[in-house]
Structure 1
Amino acid sequence: MKERRQRAGESLPELAQAIRRLANLAYPTANLEIRETLSRDQFVDALIDSDMRIRIKQSRPTNLNEAVKLAVELEVFNRAEHKSHLRTTVTETVNEVQSSNESDLAMMIKDLTSKKLQRDVDEIRQRKPSSLAASDDRRYHTKRKVTKCHYCHKPGHMRKDCYALKNRKSNAGKF
């Protein structure tokens, strides 16, 4: 867990999720508060940008979620500053960062969740044909053996497939 660093192109929520998973694996018996503290500290240490690390440490977040929120805010602020060289007032910038941060964070979390759900669905689809095919066949054959025709009352077929009914209809047309 201590060796984990932010990879090139890795988003902050992805990094946080990976660190939280590693903390849960490394310290399964520790209580939640301790794991959150360890995760928070490791998240801050794993960041590439040293200015961001210092600013987050100065803010003293209490848990991993707060650290991620601060990091995303700083990242959005830095992107906005690099894209536009126009200086705005501090209050306008803070408002922009907060509104875009919430939507960016929500979009990132939604994207990660949908990717995980898609992987789970794919795994289930891969397992389904082999495991469920046999049970579907058993149910089908069980129904076929138990089902009785409503016309001739013999088991093994339904009224629409009844030979006696078909013979009766074909003979009725000859007279």
Structure 2
Amino acid sequence: ENRQRFESGYLKLLAVKLKERQGRVLPGIKSILETLSRHEHVHLGLLTGNFEHGARQKLEHFDLNHFFDFGAYGDHHASRNDVAREAIKQIQQRHTPESLAETSIWVIGDTPSDIHCARAIGANVIAVATGVYPPEELRACEPDYLFEHFEEIEPILSLFAAPETTN
């Protein structure tokens, strides 16, 4: 009951703050999502410690919600690693075992927690230093790739090239 009251209050305040603040989508993000969403072999999901409704509200505010077919959220699990495991379950529901074996799972994040939860599920990790955590701190967590920003999108997109088919 307390959690529900807290979440309700948070969501009301979030709606107000999203309108008041001058937030923006970081350069390159929308282009990356637009490009990846056109790839048949890429399925975009959201993995976050946020409340589901709060995360979706933020994404909707910035016209990004439609890119994410599924998600795993912090209001369903206390541990970020458990949120990541929930994301894996959702991926498994969307793929046959044969196609899942060929699917690479990537987590893109900007915090040490994002990197650690990706490792907990055996995912590849792209870290981006959005300013909250400096590159040195993210590098110490050993992501597979570290970018200072996503303004130049080609290096990121090259990681998601379609798998080659053999005849």
More helix by share: 1
When normalised by structure 2's length, the TM-score is: 0.26
More strand by share: 2
Task: Work out which structure has the larger RCO, using CA pairs closer than 8 Å and 6 or more positions apart in sequence.
Answer: 2
Q: Give 1 or 2 for the bigger CA radius of gyration.
A: 1
When normalised by structure 1's length, the TM-score is: 0.25
